[in-house]
Chain A
């Protein structure tokens, strides 16, 4: 058994960003699908109101998050790697049932396992930008309004709406699976606690036989979510 050490993995901003993003995506999805007439809860008008406000909140948060990722160099966490990818998948499919060890080790410089790297990168580069852009086009399909000459004048909202809806389903499915996968950490709640407190018990780095500081290259490590 390897030694464990309490490590401060998630900085203040990171946690602030993560939980706000979670809340906003939940709100956006919940109100979005009401707008989609999937159910009635707030009432259409209120749902649109909340969706629009949450959307602006989301955009502002994203701007700060981009800034943070770039200035801190944390964006490197998302550089995809194929190393251990198969092993990680096999862990979720088989190893986890045998209580096998996590194939990738979580460290501060490499918090994400190769599957997470891929999925989160996809979210950040594809799904979320698609949602933001299609959402903004939804809002500003004709801009400026009124009689002045329009810079944006889109005739058919359908494509925008369909892309936005499809993206919403993808994002929602991600959230559902994500919520489950956070229970697959060292213990059922260790990932959740880490994202709340910032502290997580990680395998002692000095103990790790194949540890390498160049996180991009080597086996990136981790547990769960």
Chain B
């Protein structure tokens, strides 16, 4: 049957509709579906939540090991005993950073370097060289007293400092890593019987005390973490997951995950929040999207040093002052030392807002042989690389520790002073309070030339803050960064951020356009109104 004309137009309309549905609506629907936000995935985290609270049960009871029952004369024998069963662990340790205090790393511009606590300058006690006897209280070894220490002897490894589960093992002060032995020392039978996975206390013995006291160095690593709640640290909080350091800082063959850029230089072996939380941890996709450019820590660690204060400034230049011919100390109201003759002036802060920087996981360090740039008036102890345009960079929170350190005004190198010795009169600053002598001794030890002239230069050291993650409810809010003035990211000016930035010209032009529109409307309406009134009166007349 032939279609009536009306039907044919209807038909045409219908095919048109179908065509446009296929041409426009369908592709848009497909694109919308394709662009839909990835769903938050918490399955991995849930699995970990089930796992972490379980007490780790060791498959071995060391109290039943015959070889551990005897009375040991020195700690090297204990290590030898460990290695009879754990045959390969010695070699592992000999290659580990915890023992060598250096790593082989590639730094652009320097090539392959061997850097670590062994030879780097830091912004706290400056460096270990010539001070080993004291510093090595935190070395996973026995007897690193000076340059003669044998790094190839596995019996020089200290297994116990990390694996003691009694919490009673202590290395002696000024003992080059040796514990007290004999009647004054701890009960080694008990300690050896307890051997197991490191607890947070083991790590904390050294890592909480970096820089010479609790929380001095990091600000986010301190003894309070052992007892604090979720509000201080969601991971370690005793009322929460109560995790151990090694739950995150996992190790394979004694190589631990996690990097500290006071000593590290490469973007490797890092520990990332995403490892457990995945890349899409938020329900709100706009927050997941932030992680393209913003590290998790930036929002989730709004403040650090939440319980005890941390050192923010250390002025070595004021050290060696005396009162009535004697060294002295000053304390603040909280009991923090704010001046001591042996170290100089300190500034402490609590509940510190981090500073923020772009960071791509690579760093350089000011080596003791590098020239000091006196023109800039500022020496960066370490340089953490990153910028907005670098796709590997993210904004991360950092503690910046500032201070003043001595440098050689002729050779223009930073100075390693001798700080410690067992006895007075050997040039140790902390005993003799004589800069001149301590510098000579320190530089001669390395050995590096010293011109005889020194001065102090401002120094900065950058340390990403990774711990003391707050509960989500306390995370940094949008407005703390997306605000015109004084936001948390005010100093990061190499990119555009909505709410903070604007183009003054566009804003001005836009506002003017709006203003002119209003003025025009007002003028037009007024004339219209007056003209209408005039007409009315004219009509009436």
Contact = CB atoms under 8 A, between A and B. Distances in A.
A96 B13 CA distance: 41
Contacts of B532: 99
A157 B288 contact: no
Interface string A45-80: 100100010000001000100110011000000000
Residue among B477, B498, B502 with the most chain A CB within 10 A?
B498
Interface stretch (B108-116, B356-364, B373-381, B511-519): B511-519
Interface string A162-177: 1001101110110011
Nearest to A66: B24
Contacts of B20: 67, 70-71
A41 interface: no
Given A71-B16, A158-B496, A177-B521, A37 B510 contact: no
Contacts, number: 116
B146 interface: no
Interface in A162-200: 162, 165-166, 168-170, 172-173, 176-177, 180, 183
Nearest to A45: B478
Contact of A97 (B38, B291, B527): B527
B535 interface: yes
Interface stretch (A117-125, A143-151, A216-224): A143-151
B33 interface: no
Nearest to B512: A169
Given A145-B38, A145-B280, A180 B525 contact: yes
Interface string B13-27: 100110011001100
B495 A158 contact: yes
A48 B513 contact: no
Nearest to A67: B20
Interface string B474-498: 0001110011100000000001101
Given A37-B482, A37-B483, A155-B389, A67 B498 contact: no
Given A140-B35, A145-B38, A176-B518, A165 B495 contact: no
Interface in B292-337: 292
Interface string A8-41: 0000000000000000000000000001110000
B279 A145 contact: yes
Contact of A161 (B17, B477, B498, B528): B498
B517 A96 contact: no
A98 interface: yes
B208 to A, nearest CB: 34
Interface of A: 35-37, 43-45, 48, 52, 59, 63, 66-67, 70-71, 92, 96-99, 138, 140, 142-147, 153, 155-158, 161-162, 165-166, 168-170, 172-173, 176-177, 180, 183
29 contacts: A35-B482, A35-B499, A36-B498, A37-B482, A37-B500, A44-B479, A44-B482, A44-B483, A44-B499, A48-B286, A70-B16, A71-B13, A71-B20, A97-B527, A140-B35, A143-B35, A144-B38, A145-B38, A145-B289, A145-B292, A146-B279, A156-B496, A161-B498, A165-B502, A165-B510, A170-B510, A176-B517, A176-B521, A177-B520
Given A161-B501, A170-B513, 4 more contacts: A140-B35, A145-B38, A176-B517, A176-B518
- 4 closest A-B pairs by beta carbon, nearest first, are A169-B510, A158-B496, A97-B531, A44-B478
